[in-house]
Amino acid sequence: MRFLLIASLIAILATGSNTFADKKSKENLAVAAVDTFPVPKLPNLLFYIQRDPNTNTICYELNVNDKGQLDEENPVHPFWIRYPEGGGRKELNYLQKKFAYGIIVKKAGKDYFQLKSVAYSKTPLYLKKGTNNKYQVYMAINQKQCVLTKIFVRIEGGTFWVPNVRYIEVTGTDPATGKTVVERISKFS
């Protein structure tokens, strides 16, 4: 899971230290924190990533022009929402775009794009129009093609250069039933 390790590293580099309290306190705080993390409210939001040690959030939004038409050359725009700094938007820096949170886009058909993370290209994402005629990102979650809504990365200690990623939780919606689907990944080999 090179993507997750690099993404976590860049997130730590961009947002501060990776210092935590003792293990028991850390786990209790971590569980409570996930439930209280802010949820971005953006009209063109596709999905977002959150992780320890703070609530800074990487958002991926649909990139449209003034007329609401998709920019087919660059259909997804990733950026930060810096909640601890008042909730302002901030563009990804060069390292974040090239090694952690950037997206490689390949047009696969009319209104259909394959997306791959710059850090971990083994898990493809697909941007396509859903049954509601809106663009959504689809991903296999628990062996079902779901609409991706969020990813959470639990970091527990480690070092500055190699954070210890305890697990990744991927959340989406089953388009057939509308039910939330969650998959927790804790083995990264």
Query: Closest by alpha carbon to 81, among 170, 10, 15, 155?
Result: 15
Instruction: Domain of residue 159: give its range.
Output: 2-185
Confidence at residue 119, expressed as pLDDT on a 0 to 100 scale: 75
pLDDT average, residue stretch 155-176:
86
Q: Tell me: the pLDDT tens digits for 93-112?
A: 999 999 889 999 999 999 99
What single-letter DSSP state applies at residue 83? Answer: G
Contacts of residue 11, Cβ cutoff 8 Å, sequence gap at least 6: 51, 56, 58, 100, 153
Rounded to two decimals, the pTM is 0.81
Q: Tell me: the pLDDT tens digits for 38-71?
A: 999 999 999 999 988 889 999 999 999 989 899 9
CA distance 96 to 94: 5
Q: Tell me: the pLDDT tens digits for 126-161?
A: 999 987 889 999 999 999 999 999 999 898 888 766
Counting the structural domains of the chain, the total is: 1
